[in-house]
Amino acid sequence: MEQFEAYLLAHLPVSHSPHPHYETSLRQMLIGGGKRFRPALLLDVVRAYNPLLLESAYSVALSIELLHTYSLIHDDLPAMDNADLRRGIETLHKTYDDMTAILAGDALNTYAFEVLSNAPLSATVVVKLIRELSHNGGLNGMVLGQAIDCHFENQRLELDQVKMLHIHKTGMLIAASLKMGAIIVGRDDIADALYDFGIDLGLLFQIQDDILDVTQDSVSAGKTTNNDEAKNSFVTLLGFEEAMREANTLGDKLLEQMESFDENLYRELSPTLTKYINRHKENK
């Protein structure tokens, strides 16, 4: 991921304006780091089937990271989670103000599609990629999940409803990252299977985040923790031990599914996936 990180730093958003901190606000959360989990999944799929397309795929991976970063900026706003820390640094609304954070998120959202539309791939492939990112990150994907999450604060949902919430809020963008990698390399035959795998992976990712919210302090997590009491988190709904069992069951299912991957895909994805599939166990 070092090459992708270098690519990201070379393609940070630029604003030629007299605004004293607009450009800095656009860059703050991107430079702040992050797991780069979604870009890594996409690039692993591309590397498995056509390493020659890796350089062309960097802009696609960046578009996903831009969209994800915008969602974090908005998620942390006082009207939503009201968080003070993200990626180990102060959130944008704390550094500046709500208006700056809202506009920075809006800018990164639209910049994601500008970057994606300029990807050095065929027009047909680019249109498919835009369709996937907009669907999974938009009104029937991540945004819908966020809307449900915020609306039902302090109202207990059923387990199936909580899973639906988090599949949309977290799972669909992770699933899209895998599927978009398959689209880039022309492997439409495995795109849907990778997407389905990604939905389960995203659900596990969210259960783990809920577990880490109560087992890590803010400094260790790099973001505000113990902030989910009013939310429909898996720990709030199931309790800590049952949430751990749910994560273990889903993790075992994913590891078993990985065994069906072909040799190239398994080789490229397993280091990333194994690390994250087991991360809740390491912080118990």
Radius of gyration of the chain (CA): 18
Domains of the chain (ranges, CATH numbers): 2-282 (1.10.600.10)
pLDDT above 90 for 37:
yes
Per-residue model confidence as pLDDT tens digits over 120-163: 999 999 999 999 999 999 999 999 999 999 999 989 999 999 99
Q: Kindly give, in sequence order, each residue whose CB lies less than 8 Å from that of residue 146, ignoring residues fewer than 6 positions away.
A: 71, 74, 75, 80, 169
Phi first, then psi: give them for residue 228, nearest 5 degrees.
Answer: -110, 10
For 93-131, how does the pLDDT look when each residue is reduced to its tens digit (9 = 90+)?
999 999 999 999 999 999 999 999 999 999 999 999 999
pLDDT per residue as tens digits for the range 187-213: 999 999 999 999 999 999 999 999 998
How many Cβ atoms from other residues are within 10 Å of residue 91's Cβ?
Answer: 26
What does the angle CA 144 – CA 146 – CA 149 come to, to the nearest 5 degrees?
110
Query: What pLDDT shows up at residue 280?
Result: 84
pTM metric for this prediction? 0.94
> Would the CA dihedral through 105, 108, 112, 114 be positive or negative?
positive
